[in-house]
Amino acid sequence: MTRSLLTVSVLSSLYSSLSVAEQSIETIDVHGTRAPLYSTRDVNASALGMKDPQLLPISIQSFSEELISNQRVKTLGEVLANDASVQNTSIGTVFDFVSLRGFQLDWTNGLRRDGLALAPYQDVPLENIQRIDIVKGPSSLVSGFNNPGGTINYVTKRPTMDAFLDVTTEVRSRGGKYLHIDLGGPISDEQTLGYRINAAAEKNGDFTGGDDLERYFFSAALDWQVSDRLFIRLDGDYQDKSTVSQPLIGLASDPNDPDRKILPPYVDTSDVLLGQPWAKYETESYNLAARADFWLNDTWQWVNQAALSGNDRFTVFPDIYSVDTQGNVLSAAIHITPDETYDTLSAHSFISGQLTTAAIEHELVIGVSIRDYESKDGRWFELTNPVGNIFNPIHSSKPQFPDYPEPTKTEASESALFITDTLHFNDVFYATLGLRHIQYKKEQTLPGQTKTTLDDRTFNTPIIGLNYNPSDQLAFYASYSEGAGEGGVAVIGSGAINEGESLGPQESEQIEAGIKYQTDTMNYSMAIFEIEKMLEYHNHITNYFVQDGVQSHKGIELNASGSFTHGLATVASITLMDPSLDKLDGEPALNGNTPANVPEFQANLYVDYQLPFWEALSINAGIFHVGEREQNVNNTLKLPAYTRFDLGAKYHFTDINTTLRLKAENLFDKEYWLSGGAKGIDWGVAPGRGRTFIASLSVSF
């Protein structure tokens, strides 16, 4: 077992991030132990400071490296299937995207790496990730501009005090091959300087199958304890990924009721390529980051952090707009654009500490932050997609690409001041007050034109919370928070007149109340919430993608994670939601309808059981249920509910420090529809993946 070099410091970062006591002086296990396998203790809640979750008036979920390894998952959507408040809203197969509490995550600011923004439109690699954490609800106080569902933060692996080397190989159905190397240790004899390196390669097929991809990844991290007061970390990673581009499958009108839609016949797109072998989605992405922690005295700390994140992509999106009941494609196209670039520079500086006034103890965090986002895109060219029938698609030769016009350049800047105060009135009553003041500006330069200012305004996003904690184990809380976030984009291929247009920012608000209970090895929580924001949808009267009315989601969440007994670990959650639309003037017929892709019931259960009579062997199983949900805001089609079963096993060879993992995903080969109606696209659905077998072997040195 190893000890994190980071334990020499007590970090209190602006998001660095929700990580379990990795930041305490106590010894921790980098690779995980069974007791805290899927549970969390102290977390870093960004501008709210380093806290026991029992003191936070918000909902937080965390997913560990060991859970990711045991489930053999590779993408965000696969990990977050373990949380019933998360919906998969992927558009095709090129990268995963999700909704939190029914609201689409912000593509440009909703994903964070150690607290700072990531460039969009990519599958973030998981090889150098220690945890994935979710702050639920409007989280603009935490991370600035964001959509109301919440924020997702990737916590990177840190250097270790003890040298180690882990090597993992994997094979999976449809010819998949994978290799991952993870190594780290001290550089200096004093153990004040350490490194961590991760490298991975992955390949599926030759781009003629529905699941084919090729990927290469490398990351490096350096931690340096310069003195008793100064700690520095440096990080960098790079990924080169190409994947087949699979479309959503379009709907047809119901012949018995032209106002309603019907589902196409199901096809497992992991076995069938509905795009073209030459139509790849190619990305090159990178992240560079630096952070310095300086202790001013025993109670006050000054933190500075900056990151640069970029993603260059060559985009090919095949679209299938309509399919009849026999699988014949009635309308289709391919949209191509080369050399799109997305870059994000973000930074923050803050001080945190404690003081006492009039017998009230205050935990203060005061700071500033910036985020500059720039994109160059929008040069779409359309080709005919000769797909034929979805069960027997036609593959064409690569065409001659045209000369593309100059790209559209979009720049968004965000600067902010923030302050939070956690007030301790006594040992059982606490209050949380916080405010972020945001100055937001967005500019756009169209080809051959001068720069135009689209938005220039300020937002104030507060949080007010109360806690009653009658014991260390039990907490009751209530909170009110507001958020501000980017408007949506009229997606290319949606058919709207304003395809490609970015809508203006909008505000949101949430009321939440909950209960948290923890034991030595388990965390339990219940939250009741209501979130409101404007609806973004394709208005079929005007044929524009617009903002209008109120989209309201009321819900209840139940979560449990940790170890019930020695050898039995679990992650379980249930979400009940009552989503609704109201006050729409542009298309009044939608009032009273249900938002797209938001199930009223969702539940999951994952258990990992170490056999008491054979402790080297563990059996794990997952059940993932998604309830019936509307495919579009017009409510002309319901996607049926589905339940997916996974089964796996892990065997540890103690003498040679080797672990064998086996998994059958979608054990019973259930045919289901994963998502539909995301981001204003109301003409298609995404099929779920069929049964997949995975085998991996991990060796530790």
pLDDT tens figures, 511-537: 999 999 999 899 999 999 999 999 998
- Which of 541, 461, 475, 464 has the alpha carbon at shortest distance from 507? 461
Q: Tell me what the pLDDT averaged over the chain comes to.
A: 88
In the structure, what pLDDT confidence band is assigned to residue 288 with cuts at 50, 70 and 90? very high
What length is written for the chain? 701
Distance in angstroms (rounded) separating the CA atoms of residues 676 and 632: 8
Please give the C-alpha separations between residue 379 and each of 14, 193, 224, in angstroms, as whole numbers: 37, 47, 45
For the cut 50, the answer to whether the pLDDT of residue 32 exceeds it is: no
**At residue 361, what is the residue type?**
E
Instruction: Output the CA torsion sign for 299, 64, 156, 697.
Output: positive
Contacts of 276 (CB under 8 A, 6+ apart): 316, 318, 334, 385, 395, 396, 398
Amino acid at 509: E
Q: Is the confidence at residue 48, as pLDDT, over 80?
A: no
**pLDDT, position 242:** 94
Whether 544 is covered by a domain: the verdict is: no
Strand partners, 348: 305, 369
Q: Which residue has the higher pLDDT, 694 or 333?
A: 694
Q: What is the pTM of this model?
A: 0.92
- Shortest CA distance to 93 belongs to which of 265, 243, 264? 243
What is the per-residue pLDDT across 622-677, written as a single tens digit (0 to 9) for each?
999 999 999 988 899 999 999 999 999 999 999 999 999 999 999 999 999 998 86
Give the DSSP per-residue string, 308-327.
EEEEEEEEEEEEEEEE-TT-
- Strand runs labelled E in 245-385: 249-250, 252-254, 257-262, 280-295, 301-323, 329-357, 360-377, 381-383
Cβ neighbors of 259 (< 8 A, separation 6 or more) are 636
User: Does 346 map to a domain?
Assistant: no
Is the confidence at residue 502, as pLDDT, over 90?
no
Measured at the CA of 120, the angle between CA 114 and CA 124, to 5 degrees, comes to: 55
Tokens of 306: 């900056």
Average pLDDT over residues 261-287: 91
What digits encode the pLDDT tens for the residues 393-422? 988 888 887 777 788 899 999 999 999 999
Q: What is the residue range of 45's domain?
A: 5-226+271-324+363-535+554-700
Give the burial string for 63-91 (b: 16+ CB within 10 Å, else e): bbbbbbbbbbbbbbbbbbbbbbbbbbbbb
The answer as to whether 217 is a domain residue is yes
How high is the pLDDT of residue 42?
Answer: 56
How does residue 587 score in pLDDT terms, banded at 50, 70 and 90?
very high
pLDDT of residue 700: 94
Task: Please indicate, yes or no, if residue 218 is contained in any of the structural domains.
Answer: yes
Is 578 part of any domain? yes
13 inside domain: yes
Instruction: Summarize pLDDT for 289-323 with one digit per residue, the tens.
Output: 999 999 999 999 999 999 999 999 998 888 888 89
Task: List, in order, residues 6 or more apart from 412 with CB less than 8 Å away.
Answer: 108, 371, 372, 373, 374, 440, 441, 442, 443, 486
The whole-angstrom separation of Cα 317 and Cα 177 is: 25
Residue with tokens 């001068």: 450
* CA pair distance 534, 153, nearest whole angstrom: 25
At residue 102, the pLDDT reads 94
Sign of torsion, CA 120 123 126 132? Answer: positive
**Three-class DSSP category at 617:** strand
Residue type, 363: E
107 vs 459 pLDDT, higher one = 459
Residue 546 is assigned to a structural domain of this protein: no
The count of domains in the chain is 1
Q: Which residues contact 273 (CB under 8 A, 6 or more apart)?
A: 208, 209, 210, 212, 244, 246, 393, 395
Mean pLDDT across 29-42: 40
pLDDT range class, residue 333, cuts 50, 70, 90:
confident
For residue 589, what pLDDT band results from cuts at 50, 70 and 90?
Answer: very high
User: Rounded to an integer, what distance in angstroms lies between the CA atom of residue 461 and that of residue 529?
Assistant: 18
Q: Are 153 and 18 in contact (CB under 8 A)?
A: yes
Question: In this structure, what CATH number is given to the domain that contains residue 295?
Answer: 2.40.170.20
Percent of the chain beyond pLDDT 90?
Answer: 64
| 367 falls within a domain | yes
Q: How high is the pLDDT of residue 592? A: 94
Tokens standing for 293? 């922690």
* 351-377 pLDDT tens trace: 999 999 988 999 999 999 999 999 998
What pLDDT was estimated at residue 271?
Answer: 87
